[in-house]
A and B are shown apart, each in its own frame.
Chain A
Amino acid sequence: MTNKDIYKLDPGKIAQLLTQSSRQLDEVTLSALFNARQNALKRQSVRAPVFTLAPASAHVHWADRLVPHSAQPWVAAALLIATLIVGTGVWQHVQEQQINELDVAILTDDLPIEAFVE
């Protein structure tokens, strides 16, 4: 078999030839190959499977992409304060609107103002 013939072989055939060849190896070579394989496996870092609900592509948290991790507590606190301020502002606005509607109603009702003041 020439080098050109090897390239024509399919991978399955190559694997078969290698298996046949390995059976012809002597004990010392087999032992050396076995030890080399074991050493290679030991060096390989083992990753324990981690259970996550998110897919592997979403491993990085979305918040980390938007805001640096160190700034997140500050941003969260600021957003909380902003929500409180905006909420209070909206509540005050609604209250003021109600007061305004009541004032107009009292000032224009067919009942005299004294009916509600006294």
Chain B
Amino acid sequence: MNSFVTVQTQNYVVAVFLLLCLSIPNSASAQSWRSLTSTQREALAPVVQQWDTLPELQRHRLLETAKHYSQLTPEQKQRYHDRLEKWSKLTPEQREAARIKYRAFNKLPAKEREKVKQKLKEEHARKAQQSASGVSSSPVTNQQ
């Protein structure tokens, strides 16, 4: 009787352990550029050179963003491609800081958000113009 209980107990423990193993979510496995689908390659084309050197987590996250690529407008696709290389070269801390800023920005009231957007766009355009004309982009301090 005792041995029966022991065997039954072991069976229960094994069953629960198997259940545990099944419940563990599959972690993202590293994918080489060659293993990507044509859609993924099209979306991630700007990072083809550094793809195989990127950390596993970053590759996984870029692949997740690439899932949305087909649903983007042509304009958004262009932005996505233009920014992807710079985004992938940022440190994880910089990307996290950007996410925090973006989240905070989106929490602003619509009117205020538009104001900030306009200001940032103007600033960005000014900087782009300055760098194109070769003028230093360092901010001018107003000493009064």
Contacts and interface: CB of A to CB of B under 8 A. Distances in A.
28 contacts: A67-B12, A68-B12, A71-B9, A78-B20, A82-B23, A89-B25, A92-B25, A96-B61, A96-B64, A100-B61, A100-B65, A103-B61, A103-B95, A103-B99, A105-B106, A106-B83, A106-B87, A108-B79, A109-B79, A110-B121, A111-B117, A114-B127, A115-B101, A116-B97, A116-B101, A116-B102, A116-B105, A117-B97
Nearest to A105: B102
Contacts of B13: 71, 74-75, 78
Given A68-B8, A107-B80, A78 B61 contact: no
Interface residues of A, number: 34
A81 B23 CA distance: 11
B24 interface: yes
Given A75-B13, A100-B61, A105-B106, 17 more contacts: A68-B9, A71-B8, A71-B9, A74-B12, A78-B17, A79-B16, A81-B20, A85-B20, A85-B23, A96-B64, A107-B79, A108-B76, A108-B79, A110-B117, A110-B121, A113-B83, A115-B124
A86 B76 CA distance: 36
Interface of B: 5-6, 8-9, 12-13, 16-17, 19-20, 23-25, 61, 64-65, 68, 72, 76, 79-80, 83-84, 86-87, 90, 94-95, 97-99, 101-103, 105-106, 117, 120-121, 124, 127
